[in-house]
Amino acid sequence: MSAGLVSPLVAEPAASCPPPYLTLDQARAAADQLLSPSGQGAPVDDALLLKIERFLRMEARLLDEEKFRAWYNLLAEDLFYWAPVRESRYRRDKRPEITYAGMTFFDDRKADIDTRLKRLETGMAWSEDPPTRHVYAITNVEAFETGVSGEYEVHSIFTQYRHRADYDASTLMGRRRDILRADGSSFLIAKRLILLQQSVLMAKNISVFF
CA angle 104, 163, 201 (to 5 degrees): 25
pLDDT score at 148: 92
Segment 120-179, tens digit of pLDDT: 778 777 767 677 788 999 999 999 999 899 999 999 999 988 777 777 777 888 999 999
User: Which domains does the chain show, CATH number per domain?
Assistant: 24-196 (3.10.450.50)
Pick 44 or 106 by higher pLDDT. Answer: 44
User: Starting at the edge strand that comes first in sequence, how are the strands of the sheet with 151-164 ordered?
Assistant: 104-108, 75-84, 186-196, 168-183, 151-164, 133-145
pLDDT in tens, 7-55: 333 334 444 455 567 778 888 888 888 888 677 789 999 999 999 999 9
Q: What is the pTM of this model?
A: 0.82
Please give the pLDDT value at position 5.
36
Confirm if 145 and 44 have CB atoms less than 8 A apart.
yes
Distance CA 184, CA 52 (A): 13
Q: Is the dihedral of CA 10, 62, 71, 178 positive or negative?
A: negative
- Residue 12: predicted pLDDT: 41
pLDDT of residue 19: 58
